[in-house]
Chain A
Amino acid sequence: MSRPGFVLEVDDRTPPLVVHEGEGFRLETFPLGTRVIYPPESLPAVPDVDQAIQHALRNPEGSDPLPELLFPGMRLTVAFDDLSLPLPPMRSPDIRQRIIEAVLTMAAAAGVDDVELVAANALHRRMTAAELKHIVGERVFRSFFPQGALYNHDAEDRSNLTHVGLTDQGEDVEINRRAAESDLLVYVNVNLVAMDGGHKSVPVGLASYKSLRHHHNSKTMVRSHSFMDHTKSHLHHSAWRMGQLLKEHLNIFQIETTLNNEVFPAPYDFLMKREWEWSIKDQGSMLAARRALSLAPARLRHKMFHDLRAPYGLTGVHAGDTEQVHEKTIAAVHRQQLVEVHGQADVLVMGVPYLCPYNVSSTMNPILATCMGLGYYFNSYRGQPVVRRGGAVILYHPLKPDFNQLHHPSYVDFYEEVLAESTDPAVIEAKHEQNYAADPWYVHLYRTSHAYHGVHPFYMWYWAAHAMDHVNEVIWVGADRRAVQRLGFRAASSLADALEMASDTVGRSPSITYLHNPPHLLADVR
Chain B
Amino acid sequence: MLALEMYRSLPRHVAGKVVGGRVPGLLSGYAAPLRMVTIDQPAVARPGWARLRTRLSGICGSDLGALSGRTSLYFSGLVSMPLVPGHEVVADLVDDCEDLPEGTRVVIDPVLGCVARGVEPCAWCLAGATNRCDRITVGHIAPGLQTGYCSDTGGGWGQVLTAHRSQLHVVPDAVSDEQAMLIEPLACAVHTALRAQVRRGDRVLVSGAGVVGLFTTLALRSLTEAGQITVVAKHGRQRELARAFGATEVIALDGALRGVRRATGAFHVQPDFGPGYLLGGVDVAIDAVGSKTSLETALHATRAGGRVVLSGMPAAADLSAAWFRELEVVGSYASAGREPGAGDRPAFEVAAALVADDVLAPVDGAVASYPLYRWREALDHAHAAGRLGTVKVAFDPRSSR
Pair A412/B261 contact, Cβ less than 8 Å: no
| Interface positions of A from 422 to 447, Cβ below 8 Å from B | 435, 439-441, 444
Pair B267/A413 contact, Cβ less than 8 Å: no
Whether, in the assembled complex, A11 has its beta carbon less than 8 Å from a beta carbon of chain B, the answer is no
Pair A417/B267 contact, Cβ less than 8 Å: no
| Closest B residue, CB atoms, query A444 | B267
Whether, in the assembled complex, B255 has its beta carbon less than 8 Å from a beta carbon of chain A, the answer is yes
Cβ of A215 to closest chain B Cβ, rounded Å? 26
| Interface positions of B from 245 to 277, Cβ below 8 Å from A | 249, 251-252, 255, 258-259, 261-263, 265-268
Pair A441/B266 contact, Cβ less than 8 Å: yes
Interface residue tally of chain B, by bracket?
A: 10 to 19
Task: Give Cα distance in the complex from A444 to B268, angstroms.
Answer: 11
| Closest B residue, CB atoms, query A445 | B268
Whether, in the assembled complex, A416 has its beta carbon less than 8 Å from a beta carbon of chain B, the answer is yes
Pair A440/B259 contact, Cβ less than 8 Å: no
Pair B259/A416 contact, Cβ less than 8 Å: yes
| Max count, chain A CB within 10 A of own CB: residue among B262, B266, B267 | B262
Pair B261/A441 contact, Cβ less than 8 Å: yes
Pair A416/B258 contact, Cβ less than 8 Å: yes
Pair B255/A412 contact, Cβ less than 8 Å: yes
Task: Give Cα distance in the complex from A439 to B261, angstroms.
Answer: 10
Pair A439/B267 contact, Cβ less than 8 Å: no
Task: Give Cα distance in the complex from A413 to B265, angstroms.
Answer: 12
Complex interface: chain B residues within 8 A of A412 (CB): 255, 258
* Pick from B259, B265, B266: contact of A417, CB under 8 Å: B259
Complex interface: chain B residues within 8 A of A444 (CB): 267
Pair B267/A441 contact, Cβ less than 8 Å: yes
- The secondary structure that dominates the A interface is helix
Cβ of A475 to closest chain B Cβ, rounded Å? 25
Number of A interface residues in the complex (CB < 8 A): 9
Complex interface: chain B residues within 8 A of A440 (CB): 265, 267
Complex interface: chain A residues within 8 A of B259 (CB): 413, 416-417
Complex interface: chain B residues within 8 A of A439 (CB): 262, 265
Complex interface: chain A residues within 8 A of B255 (CB): 412, 416
Pair A441/B265 contact, Cβ less than 8 Å: yes
Task: Give Cα distance in the complex from A416 to B258, angstroms.
Answer: 10
Cβ of A343 to closest chain B Cβ, rounded Å? 46
Pair A441/B258 contact, Cβ less than 8 Å: no
* Pick from A416, A417, A441: contact of B268, CB under 8 Å: A441
Task: Give Cα distance in the complex from A440 to B264, angstroms.
Answer: 10
| Closest A residue, CB atoms, query B279 | A441
Task: Give Cα distance in the complex from A441 to B249, angstroms.
Answer: 20
Cβ of A454 to closest chain B Cβ, rounded Å? 9
Complex interface: chain A residues within 8 A of B268 (CB): 441
| Interface positions of B from 224 to 258, Cβ below 8 Å from A | 249, 251-252, 255, 258
Complex interface: chain B residues within 8 A of A413 (CB): 258-259, 261-262
Task: Give Cα distance in the complex from A444 to B279, angstroms.
Answer: 13
Complex interface: chain B residues within 8 A of A441 (CB): 261, 265-268
| Closest A residue, CB atoms, query B249 | A417
Cβ of B188 to closest chain A Cβ, rounded Å? 31
Complex interface: chain A residues within 8 A of B265 (CB): 439-441
Q: Mark A442-474, 1 if CB is under 8 A from B, else 0.
A: 001000000000000000000000000000000
| Closest A residue, CB atoms, query B267 | A441
| Closest B residue, CB atoms, query A440 | B265
| Closest A residue, CB atoms, query B251 | A416
Task: Give Cα distance in the complex from A511 to B258, angstroms.
Answer: 45
Complex interface: chain A residues within 8 A of B251 (CB): 416
| Closest A residue, CB atoms, query B261 | A441
Task: Give Cα distance in the complex from A120 to B221, angstroms.
Answer: 49
Task: Give Cα distance in the complex from A402 to B252, angstroms.
Answer: 16
Cβ of B265 to closest chain A Cβ, rounded Å? 5
Task: Give Cα distance in the complex from A439 to B267, angstroms.
Answer: 10
Complex interface: chain A residues within 8 A of B252 (CB): 416
Cβ of A39 to closest chain B Cβ, rounded Å? 41
Q: Mark A50-67, 1 if CB is under 8 A from B, else 0.
A: 000000000000000000
Cβ of A420 to closest chain B Cβ, rounded Å? 9
| Closest B residue, CB atoms, query A438 | B265
Cβ of A409 to closest chain B Cβ, rounded Å? 8
Cβ of B223 to closest chain A Cβ, rounded Å? 27
Task: Give Cα distance in the complex from A435 to B228, angstroms.
Answer: 15
Cβ of A257 to closest chain B Cβ, rounded Å? 40
Task: Give Cα distance in the complex from A444 to B267, angstroms.
Answer: 9
| Closest B residue, CB atoms, query A418 | B262
Cβ of B281 to closest chain A Cβ, rounded Å? 12
| Closest A residue, CB atoms, query B255 | A416
Complex interface: chain B residues within 8 A of A435 (CB): 262
Task: Give Cα distance in the complex from A441 to B259, angstroms.
Answer: 13
Task: Give Cα distance in the complex from A435 to B251, angstroms.
Answer: 18
Task: Give Cα distance in the complex from A441 to B265, angstroms.
Answer: 7
| Max count, chain B CB within 10 A of own CB: residue among A416, A435, A441, A444 | A441
Cβ of A436 to closest chain B Cβ, rounded Å? 8
Task: Give Cα distance in the complex from A444 to B266, angstroms.
Answer: 11
Complex interface: chain B residues within 8 A of A417 (CB): 249, 259, 262-263
Cβ of B192 to closest chain A Cβ, rounded Å? 27
Complex interface: chain A residues within 8 A of B267 (CB): 440-441, 444
| Closest B residue, CB atoms, query A414 | B262
| Closest B residue, CB atoms, query A454 | B262
Cβ of B263 to closest chain A Cβ, rounded Å? 8
Complex interface: chain B residues within 8 A of A416 (CB): 251-252, 255, 258-259
| Closest B residue, CB atoms, query A436 | B262
Cβ of B114 to closest chain A Cβ, rounded Å? 50
Cβ of B230 to closest chain A Cβ, rounded Å? 11
| Interface positions of A from 401 to 415, Cβ below 8 Å from B | 412-413
Q: Mark B101-121, 1 if CB is under 8 A from A, else 0.
A: 000000000000000000000
Cβ of B217 to closest chain A Cβ, rounded Å? 18
Cβ of A417 to closest chain B Cβ, rounded Å? 6
Complex interface: chain A residues within 8 A of B262 (CB): 413, 417, 435, 439
Cβ of B21 to closest chain A Cβ, rounded Å? 29
Apart from A412-B255, A439-B265, A444-B267, what are 11 other A-B pairs with CB-CB below 8 Å? A412-B258, A413-B259, A416-B252, A417-B263, A435-B262, A439-B262, A440-B265, A441-B261, A441-B265, A441-B267, A441-B268
The 5 closest A-B pairs by CB, nearest first: A413-B262, A441-B267, A416-B255, A439-B265, A417-B262
26 A-B interface contacts by CB (under 8 A):
A412-B255, A412-B258, A413-B258, A413-B259, A413-B261, A413-B262, A416-B251, A416-B252, A416-B255, A416-B258, A416-B259, A417-B249, A417-B259, A417-B262, A417-B263, A435-B262, A439-B262, A439-B265, A440-B265, A440-B267, A441-B261, A441-B265, A441-B266, A441-B267, A441-B268, A444-B267
